[in-house]
Amino acid sequence: MKAGRFSKKELTTYAIVVAAYIICEILMLTGIMSSHMKGLLVPICYYAIVAVGLNLCVGILGELSLGHAGFMCVGAYSSALFSYVTESAIPTAPRFIIALVIGVVMAALAGFLIGIPVLRLKGDYLAIVTLAFGEIIKNIFNAIYLGTDSTGLHFSLKDMASMGMEPGGKIIINGAQGITGTPSDSNFTIAIVILLVSLFVVQNLVSSRDGRAIMAIRDNRIAAESNGINITKYKMLAFTISAAIAGASGVLFAHNISSLTATSQYFGYNASIMFLVYVVLGGIGNIRGSMIAAVILYMLPELLRGLSDYRMLIYSVVLIVMMLVNWSPKAREFREKHLSFLKIKKEAK
Amino acid sequence: MSFLTYFINGLSLGSIYAIIALGYTMVYGIAKMLNFAHGDFIMVGCYVIFTIVATMGLPPVAGIVVAIILCTLLGVTTEKVAYKPLRNAGSPLAVLITAIGVSYLLQNAALLIFGADTKAFTPVITWQGIVLADGALKIQGVTIITIVVSVLILVCLQTFINKTKAGQAMLAVAEDKGAASLMGIDVNKTISLTFAIGSALAAIAGALMCSAYPSLTPYTGAMPGIKAFVAAVLGGIGSIPGAMIGGLILGIIEILGKTYVSSQLSDAIVFGILVVVLLVKPTGILGKNIQEKV
Amino acid sequence: MALLEAKNLSISFGGLRAVDGFSIEVEKGELYGLIGPNGAGKTTVFNLLTGVYQADEGRIILDGKDITRLDPVHKNQNGIARTFQNIRLYSHLSVIDNVKVGLHNHFHYSTLAGLLRLPSYYKVEKEIEERARELLSVFNMENEADVMSSNLPYGKQRKLEIARALATDPKLLLLDEPAAGMNPNETAELMETIQFIREKFGMTILLIEHDMKLVSGICERLTVLNFGRMLAMGETKEVLKNPEVVKAYLGE
């Protein structure tokens, strides 16, 4: 199965991403791609990245997280804060790299700290507590006021007035209005590189000693204990890396728009649920699948734009029908019986 | 005295959460699924009442009755069409995602039919309420009715489950689907009934909620739905008294937190309480501890 | 000194004394049987020895070290490995990956080396692969290495569980009804395998079994449990002749 230093499966994944990148670049150079479509490229990447990260948690570790939008939010805010403050002090390239490191590390830290209590819980309880933490993170970011003036930094969780700033001071984080004026340091190439790195990390983890331990815990915790596997350590490892990848996605998010706000649409539980939809439709535990599902599902409402008001309705119907067709035992039976010729192709992999 | 007012308001909000949570907890306990669309059933109920009362000019009672009937039908149909085929899908995530799809569907259908603008909901409860202690303590009619209705519902549900054959069948299915069907219980029917009751409760909760907070959008049901689910987990999911207790605690904390701590952080406080409770007691306040057999 | 020495182990579940005053001494290299009717508390004894349950009373000493209070992870790391009555494989992992999980604590490279595929990753993974295949070949399963473990036939699943337990390089191997659900041919083959691993690895084995043929065929000594208490212990032949044992267990 192994072809040199990477398995065939791993190489295929990287090849798909690189091919998609080249095609997009050609379409852009030849002017075929619309400017609207160009604007979607970076979002597609950051949603693919967060889907890959979440699949590590849901598919590989086997724990349902509904709070990954929160980790994305931590990555976005921490990196945007850095870039905003140092915009005039550091040149673009090193600034973005440092911002990326900060965003990833802060999200990993949040994942680690939240993981300590959360990973003691099981199943749906774990899911609802991750949702709770995600909402808490969003809520807190919405309440932060941070500013600076000649007397130094000012901070409040209440409103701007309670910061007690001098007039003429500079506001950095303005409560629900968030951070305005983050430099737009990200672009499609950077986004693709970060996606490739995320895939590299997750795929390498899965086929390593640590990855096997993580999947062993997922499949049978009691057996894993009897094999001397340190359960807490490996759960924490997977959860932290998963959060870190969501953080990287958040860094891209923050550096792709000029004004960052912690809205429910982007960082609430709705967003976490959307990521989960990518993971489940792409195949639980199938890293490449979640990436592709994220791309298709993100594009779908855009492709349906011509149908204006009906597009989200159609999207939801498509989602339900896809789930029924993919997962219902009856539909599976039907496929085995009548559509078995389609399977030959699948087995050839 | 103002503390008492806030406390009673919290009790009222908590009662609404409790009614929604009852539906959540029953469906979870019996069908073993998280019905993410449950909150949107509330929204549907609200729009039905809105249409009948505000647009057609019929009396509020008619609105509530039609809303209950339609929500019940909606719940039962949703279960039959979207959830039942996935009952043995092999992963609980399949039906969870489908429920999310149903939630999107209902929200976007409402968006198409009624538009995104906020509708001023005509309160179905017009009673002004009572004034105590020489005007220092004013309790609104809707507050009192909400609390009374939720207590009534709890009593009826407990009686139904413990005293009737259908209720016992629900307990049996909740315990072990396979064994229940071997005992001659019609599992499909029992699950349908559960969805019917849960959805009817959602309609009632909708009527009460929109009377207390009279503004209506396609997303009205989402957040209360999530909070009610948090309440159900807080109280111990699957437990009916647990859902009640969880709902009340959540409502009171939300209102008091908003008033005395920070209005921006009130949601953080509510979710924070959930986290703390589950860390101390991982299966909720009244939840049962189940140990895996080795 | 005995390899495993358990003294006076007891545990209660809600007032019911599931195991009451259980003591055992298993010598190094011995093949020891634990038998008894259904519900006698045999698996509970295993769960106490492996740390799944913590004993209310008593002590467990392995190779001179008191391991009474250790959790399952550390009991394994101190040299106890087990199989389960209801097979517990990593069902979504391949046969060889199941064994590789067993080898986890014996071949090391850092997480970073794994994430970045540093040279140590390739070197150690090669060693892991070789060792895992070696273990599979003991059980004649090298051809099924890449099969998903849940697709194995029942008898082979049981064998794989033993291979995985052996991979943790234990001093003491606990087998919980290894022949359950096997046909006579498979059972006979399993007996040979157990004998073989005992000789090849110098393994000390404590096994729970219902199949009397298997027990009398390979165990040197037995302990009989009934209602959580020890009914008899000693040489296999003697114990099986004991009238109380016959009455409680074989007579039914």
Mean pLDDT across the stretch A78-104? 94
Q: Is C174 helix (H, G, I), strand (E, B) or coil?
A: strand
What would the pLDDT profile of B51-97 be if each residue is shown by its tens digit?
Answer: 998 888 888 889 999 999 999 999 999 999 999 999 888 778 888 88
pLDDT attached to residue B93: 83
- What is the phi/psi pair of residue A88, to 5°? -85, -15
What CATH number does domain C1-79+170-252 carry, 3.40.50.880, 3.40.50.970, 3.40.50.300, 3.30.70.260?
Answer: 3.40.50.300
Residue A3 has pLDDT above 50, yes or no: no
Residue C165 has pLDDT above 90, yes or no: yes
- Cβ atoms of A49 and A17 within 8 Å: the answer is no
Report chain A residues whose CB lies below 8 A from the CB of B263. none
Q: Report the mean per-residue pLDDT for chain A.
A: 90
Q: Which residues pair with A152 in a beta bridge?
A: A149
Report chain C residues whose CB lies below 8 A from the CB of B294. 43, 47, 52, 84
pLDDT attached to residue A336: 74
pLDDT attached to residue A301: 79
What would the pLDDT profile of B138-184 be if each residue is shown by its tens digit?
Answer: 788 888 899 999 999 999 999 999 999 999 999 999 988 889 999 99
What would the pLDDT profile of C107-140 be if each residue is shown by its tens digit?
Answer: 999 999 999 999 999 999 999 999 999 999 999 9
- Cβ atoms of C72 and C51 within 8 Å: the answer is yes
DSSP state of C179: T
B199 within a domain of the structure (yes/no): yes
Report chain A residues whose CB lies below 8 A from the CB of C78. none
DSSP state of C69: T
Residue C6 has pLDDT above 50, yes or no: yes
Residue B107 has pLDDT above 90, yes or no: yes
Mean pLDDT across the stretch C33-57? 92
Lowest mean pLDDT across A120-134, A307-321, B201-215, C39-53: A307-321
Show which of residues 37-96 on chain C sit within 8 Å of chain A, judged by CB atoms.
50, 52, 71-74, 76-77, 81-82, 84, 88-93
Lowest mean pLDDT across A43-52, A305-314, B41-50: A305-314
DSSP state of A185: -
Residue A348 has pLDDT above 70, yes or no: no
Comparing CB atoms, the residue among C82, C107, C111 nearest residue A237 is C111
Report chain C residues whose CB lies below 8 A from the CB of A205. 114-115
Report chain B residues whose CB lies below 8 A from the CB of A269. 226
Using CA of residue C214, residue C217, residue C223, residue C229, what is the dihedral sign? Answer: positive
Q: String of b and e for A237-260 (b: at least 16 CB within 10 Å)?
A: bbbbbbbbbbbbbbbbbbbbbeeb
Show which of residues 268-297 on chain A sit within 8 Å of chain B, judged by CB atoms.
269-270, 273, 276-277, 280-281, 284
Q: Give, to the nearest 10 degrees, the angle between helix A231-254 and helix A68-86.
A: 50
Residue A130 has pLDDT above 90, yes or no: yes
Q: Which two tokens stand for residue A50?
A: 């967060």
Flag if B264 and A269 touch (Cβ within 8 Å).
Answer: no
pLDDT attached to residue A45: 97
Flag if C71 and A237 touch (Cβ within 8 Å).
Answer: no
Using CA atoms, how far residue A171 sits from A156, A291, B264, in Å, is 12, 37, 19
- The set of residues, in sequence order, having a beta carbon less than 8 Å from that of C192 and lying 6+ positions away, is none
Residue C1 has pLDDT above 80, yes or no: no
Residue A340 has pLDDT above 70, yes or no: no
Report chain C residues whose CB lies below 8 A from the CB of A285. 92
Mean pLDDT across the stretch A110-139? 92
Q: Across chain A, where does the E strand assignment appear?
A: 2-3, 6-7, 145-149, 152-156, 170-174, 179-180, 259-260
Closest residue by Cα to residue B219 from B24, B37, B36, B43: B43
pLDDT attached to residue C201: 87
Question: What chain B residue is nearest to A317 in terms of C-alpha separation?
Answer: B105
Residue A97 has pLDDT above 80, yes or no: yes
Between CA B143 and CA B31 the distance in angstroms is: 32
Q: What is the pTM of this model?
A: 0.91
Q: Is C62 helix (H, G, I), strand (E, B) or coil?
A: strand
For A290, counting Cβ atoms within 10 Å of its Cβ (0-12 exposed, 13-18 middle, 19+ buried), the class is buried
pLDDT attached to residue A346: 40
What would the pLDDT profile of A39-87 be if each residue is shown by its tens digit?
Answer: 999 999 999 999 999 999 999 999 999 999 999 999 999 999 999 999 8
Flag if C101 and A227 touch (Cβ within 8 Å).
Answer: yes
pLDDT attached to residue A159: 80
Q: Which residues pair with C34 in a beta bridge?
A: C208, C223
Side chain identity, residue C57: E
pLDDT attached to residue B263: 81
Mean pLDDT across the stretch A2-6? 62
Q: Is C61 helix (H, G, I), strand (E, B) or coil?
A: strand
B284 within a domain of the structure (yes/no): no
Question: How close A148 comes to chain C (CA, Å)?
Answer: 39
Which string of DSSP letters, residue by residue, matches chain B?
A: -HHHHHHHHHHHHHHHHHHHHHHHHHHHHHH----TTHHHHHHHHHHHHHIIIIIS---HHHHHHHHHHHHHHHHHHHIIIIIGGGTTSS-HHHHHHHHHHHHHHHHHHHHHHH-SSPEE---S-----EEEGGGTEEE-HHHHHHHHHHHHHHHHHHHHHHHSHHHHHHHHHHH-HHHHHHTT--HHHHHHHHHHHHHHHHHHHHHHHHHHS-EE-TTTTHHHHHHHHHHHHHH-TT-HHHHHHHHHHHHHHHHHIIIII-STTHHHHHHHHHHHHHHHSTT-TTPPP-PPP-
Lowest mean pLDDT across A158-167, B204-213, B249-258: A158-167
For B188, counting Cβ atoms within 10 Å of its Cβ (0-12 exposed, 13-18 middle, 19+ buried), the class is middle
pLDDT attached to residue B1: 62
List chains touching C (3+ CB pairs under 8 A): A, B
Q: How far out from the chain centre does Cα B251 lie?
A: 13
Question: What chain A residue is nearest to B284 in terms of C-alpha separation?
Answer: A125
Q: Is A2 helix (H, G, I), strand (E, B) or coil?
A: strand
Report chain B residues whose CB lies below 8 A from the CB of A313. 105, 108-109, 112
pLDDT attached to residue A222: 95
pLDDT attached to residue C251: 55
Mean pLDDT across the stretch B228-247? 91
The CA R_g of chain A, rounded to the nearest whole Å, is 21
List the single best residue of A9, A209, A234, A349 to mutate versus C (max C Cβ within 10 A).
A209
pLDDT attached to residue C51: 95
Residue A345 has pLDDT above 50, yes or no: no
Residue A339 has pLDDT above 80, yes or no: no
Residue C233 has pLDDT above 60, yes or no: yes
What would the pLDDT profile of A233-285 be if each residue is shown by its tens digit?
Answer: 999 999 999 999 999 999 999 999 989 999 988 999 989 999 999 998 898 89
What would the pLDDT profile of A184-220 be if each residue is shown by its tens digit?
Answer: 989 999 999 999 999 999 999 999 999 999 999 999 9
pLDDT attached to residue B128: 76
Q: Report the mean per-residue pLDDT for chain C.
A: 92
Flag if A324 and B109 touch (Cβ within 8 Å).
Answer: no
- Cβ atoms of A53 and A249 within 8 Å: the answer is yes
| Residue limits of CATH 3.40.50.300 in chain C | 1-79+170-252
Mean pLDDT across the stretch A143-170? 84
**pLDDT level of residue B278 (50, 70, 90 thresholds):** confident
B41 within a domain of the structure (yes/no): yes
Q: Tell whether A132 lies on the interface with B, counting CB pairs under 8 A.
A: yes
pLDDT attached to residue A271: 93
Q: Which two tokens stand for residue A27?
A: 């379409």
**Of C15 and C90, the one with more pLDDT:** C90
pLDDT attached to residue B292: 65
Report chain B residues whose CB lies below 8 A from the CB of C52. 294
Percent of chain A's residues with pLDDT above 70: 95
Flag if A157 and B105 touch (Cβ within 8 Å).
Answer: no
Flag if C114 and A229 touch (Cβ within 8 Å).
Answer: no
Question: How close A19 comes to chain B (CA, Å)?
Answer: 30
Q: Tell whether B50 lies on the interface with A, counting CB pairs under 8 A.
A: no
What would the pLDDT profile of A273-285 be if each residue is shown by its tens digit?
Answer: 999 999 988 988 9
pLDDT attached to residue B132: 76
- Cβ atoms of A50 and A199 within 8 Å: the answer is no
**pLDDT level of residue A341 (50, 70, 90 thresholds):** low
Q: Tell whether C165 lies on the interface with A, counting CB pairs under 8 A.
A: yes
Question: How close C126 comes to chain A (CA, Å)?
Answer: 12
Which string of DSSP letters, residue by residue, matches A147-167?
A: EEETTEEEEESS-SGGG-PPT
B to C CB pairs, distance under 8 Å: 4
List the single best residue of B91, B288, B290, B294 to mutate versus C (max C Cβ within 10 A).
B294
Using CA atoms, how far residue C65 sits from B284, C91, C166, C236, in Å, is 40, 34, 21, 28
Between CA B175 and CA A331 the distance in angstroms is: 28
How many independent structural domains does chain B possess? 1
Q: Across A157-281, where does the E strand assignment appear?
A: 170-174, 179-180, 259-260
Residue A154 has pLDDT above 90, yes or no: no
Report chain B residues whose CB lies below 8 A from the CB of C47. 294
Residue C250 has pLDDT above 60, yes or no: no
Residue C181 has pLDDT above 80, yes or no: yes
Range A329-337 contact pairs with CB under 8 angstroms and sequence separation of 24 or more: A329/B85, A329/B88, A329/B89, A329/B90, A330/B85, A331/B85
B279 within a domain of the structure (yes/no): no
Q: The domain containing residue B45 runs over which residues?
A: 15-222
- Alpha helices (H) in chain C, listed in sequence order: 42-49, 72-77, 95-102, 111-116, 119-138, 154-167, 184-201, 212-218, 236-241, 243-245
Question: What chain A residue is nearest to B115 in terms of C-alpha separation?
Answer: A309
**pLDDT level of residue B255 (50, 70, 90 thresholds):** very high
